[in-house]
Structures are given as structure tokens and as C-alpha cells.
A and B are shown apart, each in its own frame.
Chain A
């Protein structure tokens, strides 16, 4: 080995095909802390760290075999004192005088190695962060997909709801027509004139009225207000309607009519203690010959009777609402009237928005006007109040002019 190579600023060694050390320069001997004699003829593994022995065998041996050279390989050498020295290795395999020799150059890279360690660490951290980011992103994607699916489900359910709603509305419209078909047409004869107004808070109403000419002198007037409003209340009015129509037309006594209605309400809910419906109501039996009104008011707003001079009498409630207490007795009251008196029957849906005093004044002020005018005035007042207020209840009233 020439002097220049011997003291070159890099380690140099040659290996046999079998990886025995053939020659080694002074620089490398100094790095490793060995004498020439200690290494010559030794296997290359002798100056490799344990990991490098594996790496050399797994990678470098086949690489050199197949490609005849390797470049920039990082391995660690093992010095005489056991220290592991990170080095960069280049090697070339040359055929010389029939046998091949592997020439190696090694350069220690302690400082660069530290830098690379730092870089690797940073890279690992970056990979971990990237992995976490990707995980989070994939979770988000999943959540997004879920929301999309739920939205689609909602749209579908909504469509079904819409269809159901339309069907229900159609049914309710039909039910409303059936309910309205039960209402009597206005009566106008030599004994009296009757007009009525009827409006449900929803399509269906819990209010119901009826008036019937029983014979040539007697008329029956009934007004009921089932608690609540809407479908359930409307169904109850329907079941009550068939009862009262039959009883009234038969000319039953006032207390008989009310007692029967009370009984039917109790019997409807006998088996279901959780539900019970009650109903306020008033029944008036008018005898036009005697000019006498027999009546029972069960928890209902007072019926206003106004005589020809404008004096008003209130036919007050003297019984609890129907269906509330079982087995109570009903007592009929009676009052006589003069020619040209007014009767005004109404539900609380009319009384509450206008106010009882205002209602009385309204009737008094229009006592000489035709019934239809008074009716319109009351409706107008209701409209005004409705606009001011969100109050919503079934509304019903009956106006009777007694001749």
C-alpha cells in the first residue's frame, strides 16, 4: 500500500471473496484502535457491530455479488474498545490476477449520524402526526357519510309525513262536512226566528247545537261544548248528537234530556279511568203558547234573555258540567218571556274573546235590528278580537227572536 493511501483522510481496506481482511490502511487502524497484525486475515465481521454483521450478510453480500459495487451504505464498525463507530461505506469488487478483491472506503460519520437520527425521529413524529390526521379525516368522512344517510332518511320520512298529512287533511275535511251536515237550517215562523254561527278552532269542533220544532207550539234548543277541541271532542259531540236529537224530538222533559246526556258521557269512559270527557251544555224547551222557557244550564255560560224593553236576564248555570259527577239530579228551571224578546246562547269561545259585558252591550245596541245584522256584528267583533289575540277555541252561538 502506498504512503498516500495509507494515511489518506479516509479508512481503506480490501476483502477477499470470502470477506477476509487482506489489507487495511493506517487511518482505519487508528479509527478502530488495532494494529495491522491484529486484523490481517480476520473475517470482516470481526470489525463489524452485531447489527452490522446481520446487515452485511443480508444486504451487502448479495449486493456486491450482483452489482459489483455499493455506495453510501451506512453501517457501524466495532472498535477494539467496543465502541460502535457509524461509518459510510463504499465498496467495489475487482477481479485481479484471477481472484476478485473487494475494495472498501469507510468514512466515520458520528456528527452526521446524530443529525440523521434527529431527522429520522422528526420523520417518525411527522408520520405519526400524519397518520393521526388521516385517521381524524377518515372519521370525519365517516361522520359526513352518516349525516348524509340520515338526511336522506329524513327526507324520505318527511315525504311520507307529507303524504300522511295530506291524507289526514282530506279525511278531516270530510269529517268536517259530516259534522256540519248535522247542523239544522235556520227556522223562521210566526213563533220565532233562529239563526246560528258555528266555527271550529280546528277543522272539527267540540261545540254542537241543535234546535227542533217538537210540535206546533214547542221548540227544543240545545247547545253543547265538549272540553277541548279537535278530533276527539268532535267524536264525542257526534255520539251525543244522536241521543239528544231522538230525545228532543220525542218531546222529553228537560231533565230527562240532560240526565241521559250525562249518563252517556259517564258510560263512554266507564272502562278507562285515565280518560274522561265532560261537557258544558244548556237545553231550552220553549213553549210558545205559554211563552215559557224551561231550561237546565249545566256549567255553561249564561243564556241571555232580553225583553222588549232591553232588560236582560241571565239564565245561569245551576248544575255542574255533564259527565263530571256521576248520579247527580237535574232540576228544571222555568222563566216566562214577552213578545219581541231575544235569546242569546253561546259557548265560551265566543264569550272569552269579546268579554261578557261587551257581549251584553252588543245585543242591547242591536235589539231592534234584524237577526242577521246582530249575527254579523257579533262575528265582526270575534274577528277583531281573534286578530289581536292568539286565543283559539271552538266558537258557536245561537240567536233566537221570540215573537
Chain B
């Protein structure tokens, strides 16, 4: 076990089981988004929660502009955590961009994972005329990045600077912990660019670990057409349309999310036997 990685990625271990279940947050969020869902699996699984370097309560000093300019860098965070904990056959549960990050990690080290649960995944957010419908035009994504930037004026700039320059003041870290979804503006911008301008469609076919796709209704970020596209190109995948609307069913509809994950895990373990 490498304590440096565990500190760096703010890894939290919970649960009473032995089979590992690792939860990866989506863009801009930290491990708190998994609270309700993860809690339900604590009795039978070893729950692993973490933050990507640059978000949540991770070690901002470890941020490296080059590494985190692409999703591969974030996938390496997942692999580092798996390696530090010496995981095998873990169930990976990812949300939004966390899904692609998990897929990339599983391509490099399939032995770490037994199943992938993908909540609201999208391999590419951009529309590519006559070729692919991702849901967004480039201008809309640039507008989002601008909006992120402007909101940092109001509620994030003040602490972003102080935390970076005061690593010896734990009370600021406490403060940060309360600030859900907020990160250093430059890091958030880089993560947004890495996320929303990525095109990982070609990687889908390389994934060897079986997966469950949880597709919400009326998800503006990952529309149903995208879920179907993934299902078509991702080998050994199961697609499940949810009643839940929006993009965050793990938060808005935790019961349905838990139910579908359990159903998938139970079904596939029955096949295993």
C-alpha cells in the first residue's frame, strides 16, 4: 500500500466486504456525490472513494499541467489508486466523464477490474456532422467554460489561492471539504477542456471488461442516442434505460441506481457460477 497515493487522491476506504468496489466521480465533482449509492453496498463490499488530483480534497501540489491535460492522466490516477491498494477484479462505478476514465484505465490494466458500471457515459460530447451526435456544438461547450470561469469570480477564487499557498493551514482544507464541486479555476478549466473536447470513440472497442451502461431519460449531457452508440460499440456491454431524469441519477434517484447496479452484479455473478 502506497500511503502517498492514498493521501494524494484523498482515498477513503469503507465497508465490511472483501470484494473491492471503486467509485469514480464525474467532471467537477468529488467523492461526496457517491454518498447515498456507496453506502448501500458497504455491507458486502470494500468501498473505495477517491478524488482526482486537482479536485475535492486531493493534494493540489501534485497537480501537473501536462499530465492532466488529457483524460489519460486522470485514468492514471485510477490505476495509481488500484495499484496502491493492490486491487484485483474490482467493480468500477463511474459517473459521466468518470466512465471514460474508467474505460481507459481498464484498457491498460484489465486485471484490476471485473466489471464496469457506467452512469451517464459519453465518449464524445461534440456533434460531428454526418458522423456522430454527441449533443453539443463547440460554441456551447466554450460557453460552458466561460460560465465556469465567471462563476469562479463569485465563489471560488478567494479560496483557490489560499489553499494552494497555505498547505500548512488545515482549517483551510476543512473549509475546502465543505465546498462541494469547487476546484481551482485553472484546474477546472483544464479538466473541462480535457473532458468536453475529448473523442474516445475509438477506445470503446478496446475495452475487454464487461460493463453496464445506465442511461437516464432526458439527460441533456449524455442523451439516449449516445448511450445506444456506446452499447453498440462497447463489447460485452448491457444497456439499461433508467426512469430517472437528468444526468445525476446517483444523486437524484439513488434507489433506482442502486437497484440496477445490484441487479447487474447479481445477474452476472449468477452467470459466473
Contacts and interface: CB of A to CB of B under 8 A. Distances in A.
B264 interface: no
Interface string B163-202: 0000000000000000011000000000000000000000
B140 A54 contact: yes
A45 B135 CA distance: 14
A65 B149 CA distance: 22
B248 A74 contact: no
Contact of B247 (A52, A61, A72): A61
Contacts of A116: 150, 153
Contact of A57 (B143, B146, B181, B246): B246
Contact of B155 (A19, A50, A72): A72
B252 A55 contact: no
Contacts of B28: 58-59
A55 B148 contact: yes
B248 A45 contact: no
A158 to B, nearest CB: 42
Contact of B140 (A19, A50, A119): A50
Interface centre among B136, B150, B181, B251 (most CB of A within 10 A): B150
Contacts of A66: 32-33, 180, 251
Q: How large is the interface on B (under 10, 10 to 19, 20 to 34, 35 or more residues)?
A: 20 to 34
A51 B154 contact: no
A75 interface: yes
Contacts of A43: 218
B248 A50 contact: no
B205 interface: no
A178 B149 CA distance: 87
Interface string A17-45: 11100000000000000000000000101
A76 B142 CA distance: 14
A330 to B, nearest CB: 85
Nearest to B151: A74
B213 to A, nearest CB: 18
Nearest to B26: A58
Interface centre among A18, A59, A61 (most CB of B within 10 A): A59
Interface in A199-223: none
27 contacts: A18-B246, A45-B220, A50-B140, A50-B143, A51-B141, A51-B142, A51-B144, A51-B146, A51-B147, A53-B220, A54-B220, A59-B148, A59-B181, A62-B29, A63-B180, A63-B181, A65-B248, A66-B32, A71-B155, A73-B154, A73-B155, A74-B151, A74-B153, A74-B154, A75-B147, A116-B153, A120-B153
What are the 3 tightest A-B residue pairs by CB atom distance, in nearest-first order? A51-B143, A50-B140, A72-B154
Given A55-B144, A74-B153, A74-B154, 13 more contacts: A17-B252, A51-B147, A54-B141, A58-B221, A59-B151, A61-B246, A62-B29, A62-B181, A63-B180, A65-B252, A66-B180, A71-B155, A119-B153
Interface of A: 17-19, 43, 45, 49-55, 57-59, 61-63, 65-67, 71-76, 116, 119-120
